[in-house]
A and B are shown apart, each in its own frame.
Chain A
Amino acid sequence: MAGEELLRVEGLNKMIGGTSILSDVTMSVQKGDLKVLIGPSGGGKSTLLQCINLLLFPDNGRILLEGNEVSFRRKREVLAYRQQIGMIFQEFNLFDHLNALHNVSIALRKVKRVSSRQAAERAERELTRVGIGEQKHLYPAELSGGQKQRLSIARALAMDPAILLLDEPTSALDPELIGEVLGVIRELSQKGMTMLMATHQMGFAKTLAQEIMFMEQGQIVEQGGPQELLSCSDVQESRTLSFCSKINELYA
């Protein structure tokens, strides 16, 4: 699936409260790829994803979407850009006062100015796609963790994003629920959705990711295909492998 470059990030830096969180991060995502970001907490994965979505503004560096550089300053451009970048959060961040259907349709109605009826139809299709069509009238508080995360995926998909950023989408879920969310992500990937995902699910990353990037102290220290990074045959053990073996020990 090595297609054209969809998203490119160049020399991204971000300081928060005097500490450098991202230092000179350069990376790109090809169309249709599923790229996985791994690494220790505090390594900058979340910040990188938020900077890509411009929820946080990088101090400097460039972001290019389909070859076009994104202006950080023009408000209108930032808002239009964010619509094209879907974001999935670890803690779901659903709109608590709206039922599942309205959680998905509100951005269509209020941001894209789609008519209520069309928005509802579209929302219903997205809910069915992630397998919670039956729960459309339930509120976030009435859904299970896995359903909540699937709802937040439906909400992002309804905006027809060019790329989906997933920030540890399964970290707040218990093992039984992780599977249903990963299932949705797998299906999206197989249908050609471009995704950049921070996760600790190594098994998932190994089987589905085109490329794994290991982030530590605000830098991408290693990147490559899963085989390359996770095979034990290397004489020199990769940083990724040693990190992953620790995860495996924990869950073994």
Chain B
Amino acid sequence: MDPSFIWSELVPALNDGLLVSLLLIIPSAFLGLLLGILAGFSRTFGPPWLSRVASAYATVFRGTPLLVQLFMLYFGLPNIGVYLTPYVAAIAGFSLCSGAYHSEYIRGALLSIKSGQIRAAESLGFSRFRTMVHIVLPQAMRRALPGVSNELIYLIKYSSLAYIITCIELTGEAKILAAQTFRYTEVFLIVGCYYLILVSLASVGLRKLEDMLRVPGYGKG
């Protein structure tokens, strides 16, 4: 190991990459979760046609490799006249894939909310939509959170695929530097640490969130 290489070349390059990674992960996390909530609700409570559309979405995006999805978005869409920048294509791919998985966790959580509470809300004059937003969603999200956290952690790691469609993020920077210097071991060891730290921070944050949202009567109370 050469400390001067690590501190003067590797770390600055990786920090640039880290910024791009975060710019990929954070919007994709929110968009993916939003898609997951919409798809989860559509599949559970939507009219039959909407439920079928949402299920088809989940089947396609859970059933094909993320890499294939990214290639389709970046290299395939131009065939029908849609040109996405690498950054936009990566975010679209991550959000769509992540949303499909989220929808499954959220669907499970929605199914666990007793229908009695929905009836109680409706008996108080809540519309179906307001019942979902104010009564069902806050409870379902608490129950879905462990699964959703898991998916967010996956997202951090599969953001490393973005460099393949030329969006140079953490892994991309590492790949370039490793190829130039041929120091594969050092470079990828350090990159591994970057991801490990990112994931650990996310886990701690999500765990804190879980504790904050804890309500007596759920799990260990």
- Could you list which residues of chain A lie within 8 angstroms of chain B, going by C-beta atoms? 50, 53, 55, 75, 79-80, 82-83, 85-87, 89, 91-97, 106-107, 110-112, 138-142, 152, 155-156, 159
Asked if A82 and B123 sit within 8 Å, CB to CB, the answer is yes
B130 at the A/B interface (Cβ < 8 Å)? yes
Asked if A89 and B116 sit within 8 Å, CB to CB, the answer is yes
Q: How far is the CB of A164 from chain B (nearest CB, A)?
A: 11
B139 at the A/B interface (Cβ < 8 Å)? yes
Asked if A97 and B142 sit within 8 Å, CB to CB, the answer is yes
Query: A106-B134, A139-B216 are known contacts. Are A82 and B139 too (CB-CB below 8 A)?
Result: no
Segment 110-165 of B: residues with Cβ below 8 Å from A: 114, 116-117, 119-127, 130, 134-135, 138-139, 142
Q: How far is the CB of A213 from chain B (nearest CB, A)?
A: 21
Q: CA separation between A102 and B98, bound complex, in Å?
A: 33
Q: How far is the CB of A87 from chain B (nearest CB, A)?
A: 4
Asked if A91 and B116 sit within 8 Å, CB to CB, the answer is yes
For the complex of A and B, 8 pairs with smallest distance between CB atoms: A141-B217, A83-B125, A93-B120, A87-B123, A93-B116, A107-B124, A139-B216, A111-B125
- Please indicate the chain B residues that have their CB under 8 angstroms from the CB of A89 in the complex: 116, 119-120
Chain A residue at minimum C-beta to C-beta distance from B131: A110
Asked if A79 and B138 sit within 8 Å, CB to CB, the answer is no
Segment 79-124 of B: residues with Cβ below 8 Å from A: 114, 116-117, 119-124
Asked if A140 and B119 sit within 8 Å, CB to CB, the answer is no
- Please indicate the chain B residues that have their CB under 8 angstroms from the CB of A92 in the complex: 116
- Please indicate the chain B residues that have their CB under 8 angstroms from the CB of A75 in the complex: 127
Asked if A82 and B142 sit within 8 Å, CB to CB, the answer is no
Q: How far is the CB of B218 from chain A (nearest CB, A)?
A: 8
Q: CA separation between A80 and B135, bound complex, in Å?
A: 19
Asked if B116 and A156 sit within 8 Å, CB to CB, the answer is no
Query: A79-B125, A97-B139 are known contacts. Are A141 and B221 too (CB-CB below 8 A)?
Result: yes
Q: How far is the CB of A127 from chain B (nearest CB, A)?
A: 16
The residue among B120, B134, B135, B217 with the most chain A CB atoms within 10 A of its own CB is: B120
